[in-house]
Amino acid sequence: MERTTERLVARAADLGFDLAGVAAAGPAPGAERLRTWLAAGMHGTMGSMARTADLRADPRTVLPGCRSVVVVAMSYHTNRPASREALAGNPGTVWISRYAWGRDYHRVLKKRLVRLGRWLATEASGSDWRAFVDTGPVLEREWAERAGLGWIGKNGCLINRRLGSELFLGVLLTTAALEPTPPATDHCGRCTACLDACPADAFPRPGVVDARRCIAALTVEHRGPIAPELRPAIGRTVAGCDVCQEVCPWNRRAPADRHPEFAPAPHRYLPALETLEALDEEGWREWRRGSPLGRIPFESLERNLAIARENLERERGEAGASPR
């Protein structure tokens, strides 16, 4: 099926994907690391990770007869200033992570991935498939590494030498027996920029993210209060966190603004804290419409805004106390 793989990669490019690769289905790479991570409680309150661990361990439990895992990626990298720089130059604003500036990537990638699955079902007659974009019981980054799209860096993100780490991933499980593409190799070297820059010290060791401390997990996935000792590290971030990717040398070299679908919507780039504080639940639903921010319920938004307000007032107090 080597020619089918070549045609599939070309078809994926025609559909607008930046990267595509294939891995042979079997026990998932990283399945044991997942179990160790869960046993240590590093998933925090993300109970679905524990509930779906057995499914994530092998795609053949998700799609019976699965023989190949197809992974695709689209870049959302932009040349906008880093979060710390942008916030410092714009008092009173808050940070929404880059992944949420444009259109909802789940819908953008899923639509194209379904078209790729239908194409493959025609090429490999009688084959079955299932498509997932970030919400299925699949270890996307591990399969992406196995399929050659990049390597999993010290910050836990998939990194591609040409496109960096700001990548949306999609996975197509198929019963078609496709020729695998070569796996990727690690190119982080001695660099520890991401580990050193994390405001919340969320990396107990390279490549391992403790979701109980990760700002992205706390502001998006975590439900309930956030420990007082972690609030200062969150700063004025209300959705996600980009710091460990912003400092990565591979992102500084990456081409930007490849897809208009992910161009920043003006109201989601550095919004005023007061603007978001004035929203009610219906207003929040309208404000986030068409974005991937639907994963943040209104109660979590209110919590995140309260922390941002607390940190903003502290910033102003410290600035006022500074010698002139």
- As annotated, the active-site residues are 134
Neighbour order of strands in the sheet with 167-174: 19-24, 68-75, 167-174, 129-132
Direct distance between the N- and C-terminal alpha carbons of the chain, in angstroms, rounded to an integer = 71
- Name the token pair of 315: 């910033």
CA distance 269 to 266: 6
> Structure tokens of 181?
């593409």
Q: How far apart are the C-alpha atoms of 224 and 207, rounded to whole Å?
A: 27
Strand partners, 130: 173
Cα–Cα distance, 317 to 173 (Å, whole number) = 54
| C-alpha–C-alpha distance, residues 89 and 91, integer Å | 6
What DSSP string describes 246-311? Answer: HT-HHHHTS-----GGGSPPGGGSS-BHHHHHT--HHHHHHHTTTSGGGGS-HHHHHHHHHHHHHH
Tell me the C-alpha distance between 248 and 242, whole Å. Answer: 10
